[in-house]
Amino acid sequence: MTDSLNPGLEGVAVAETRLSQINGGQGNLAIRGFPIDELAGNARYEETVFLLLNGRLPTSTEYADFRDELSSHRQISEEVQAVLRRAAREEKPAMDALRMGVAAANLGVTEQDQGEDVRRVIAVFPTIVATYWRYRQGKEPVTPRDDLGHTANYLYMLTGEEPSEAQVAGLETYLNTVADHGLNASTFSARVVVSTGSDLVSAVTAAVGTLKGPLHGGAPGPVLEMLREVYETGDAERYVRETLDAGERLMGFGHRVYRARDPRAAVLESAAKRFYIDGGDADFFDAAQEFEDIATDLLSEHMPDRQLETNVEFYTAILLDGVGIPKDLFTATFAISRVGGWTAHALEQMDDNRLIRPSSHYVGDTQRSWTPVAER
C-alpha cells in the first residue's frame, strides 16, 4: 500500500492536543478551552504559561510562586554573554543570536530536572534577546529585576528604564495572544525533536531555527515598513493596487489555516487601539485601519476565489512598534511568547510519545549500474 502524498503535510493530523483549538473556517482560537479574546486581554503572561503547562489557571499563591520561579532563572552565564557579544559585533540577526544563546542555556547546570529546564528556557529568552540588543547598541546589558513580571522585565532590560503600565499591558496582550497556535511549523519541530527521546533545550533550539524562516515568523517587520510608507504618502489604495497588479504578496493578509479574519488580529487591534488612542498617536492607527479596509476590499476584488483576510502580523507590527520593541526584534519577541507553547507541546509529546517518522515518495532514477571512476 502506497502512502498518500500531502505536500507540506497539509490536512494531515499527526497528534492529539489539549493545548489550543483552531477553527480556521469560522476564525476562532481557544487556548485550553479559553477563547483567545477572553484570555489575552486579562491574563498575565505567567498565567498563560501556567495554563498551558498545567491545564488550569493558577491560584494567587501558585501564580506568585510560578512568577518567582521564572524570575529566579533569568540570569545567563558569562559564556552565553560572550557568544551574544560576538553575535552583536558581527551583526548577526536577532534570531541567530537567540538560537546560539538558547543552545547554551544549560551551561553550568548540573541538575537534570525537567520542570527546571522548562522554567529556565522560558525565563532566559527575554534575557538573551535583550542582552544581544544592548550589545548591538554598544551598551552593557541590563541586569534582570526579580521584582518585575516577565513582560515588564523584558521591556526594562531593553532600555534600562522601567516601562509604563500602557507598554506592559500592550506587550502582555501580545505575548498571551501568540503563545500557542496549534501544530505550526516551529511547534512541530519541537515535538519531532522530543519524539526521538532528545532533550527540551534541543527541542526549543530547533523551534527557534524554524521560526526564523520568513514564511513562519518574519513578516511583521515588512508590515510595519509598508504601513509607515503608506502613512507618509497618504495613498493606501494606490499602494495596494500597485502591489496586487505586480503579482506581489500584500503583507499582513492571508493565512495557511484561516479562511476568515485571524481572531488574533482582532485581539491585537483592540490592544493597539487602546495604546495609540491613549498615547496620542491616533492618526497612525486610524490610517492603519483604513489601509486594512481598503486592502481587504481590493483583495476580494482581485482574487474573488480566495479568502485573504487580515492575519496576526498586521496588528502585531503596529502594537509592537507602539510599545517600543525595535523592528529587528519582532520575530525574537514572537519567540519569547511562543516558547511557552513549545515547551507545553514538548511535554505533551513526551507524555504519550511515538517517534514522528513520516514517509516520502521516491521520484528519482532507478535501476542504475555502478561505473568505475576511471570509466566515467
Mean pLDDT of the chain: 93
Residue 158: the pLDDT is 98
**Strand order in 34-35's β-sheet?**
20-23, 28-31, 34-35
DSSP character at residue 25 = T
Q: Which residues contact 45 (CB under 8 A, 6 or more apart)?
A: 149, 150, 151, 172, 175, 176, 179, 337, 340
> Annotated catalytic, 313?
yes
Q: At residue 51, does pLDDT exceed 60?
A: yes
Residue 2: the pLDDT is 59
Among 150, 181, 255, 345, the one annotated catalytic: 255
SS3 135: helix
Instruction: Please choose, from the candidates 130, 188, 198, the residue with its C-alpha nearest in 3D space to the C-alpha of residue 338.
Output: 188
The stretch 4-26 carries a mean pLDDT of: 86
SS3 31: strand
Cβ neighbours of 161 (radius 10 Å): 10
Instruction: Please choose, from the candidates 350, 314, 320, the residue with its C-alpha nearest in 3D space to the C-alpha of residue 336.
Output: 320
Q: At residue 295, does pLDDT exceed 90?
A: yes
Q: What is the pLDDT of residues 141-184, one digit of tens each?
A: 999 999 999 999 999 999 999 999 999 999 999 999 999 999 99
The stretch 247-273 carries a mean pLDDT of: 91
Domain 220-323 has CATH 1.10.230.10: yes
Sign of the dihedral defined by the CA atoms of residues 247, 249, 253, 259, in that order = positive
> Annotated catalytic, 225?
no
190-209: b (≥16 Cβ within 10 Å) or e: bbbbbbeeebbbbbbbbbbb
Residue 302: the pLDDT is 87
Q: What angle do CA 342, 344, 346 make, to 5 degrees?
A: 70
- Residue 36: pLDDT band (50, 70, 90) is very high
Q: At residue 269, does pLDDT exceed 80?
A: yes
Burial class (CB in 10 A: 0-12, 13-18, 19+), 28: middle
**Separation of alpha carbons 342 and 171, rounded Å:** 19
Among 46, 309, 313, 348, the one annotated catalytic: 313
Domain 28-212+327-351 has CATH 1.10.580.10: yes
Q: What is the pLDDT of residues 333-364, one digit of tens each?
A: 999 999 999 999 999 999 999 999 988 889 99
Sign of the dihedral defined by the CA atoms of residues 96, 187, 150, 145, in that order = negative
**Separation of alpha carbons 307 and 137, rounded Å:** 42
Q: What is the pLDDT of residues 193-242, one digit of tens each?
A: 999 999 999 999 999 999 999 888 867 889 999 999 999 998 999 999 99
Domain locations in the chain as residue ranges = 28-212+327-351, 220-323
Residue 93: the pLDDT is 96
Cell, residue 216? 513562519
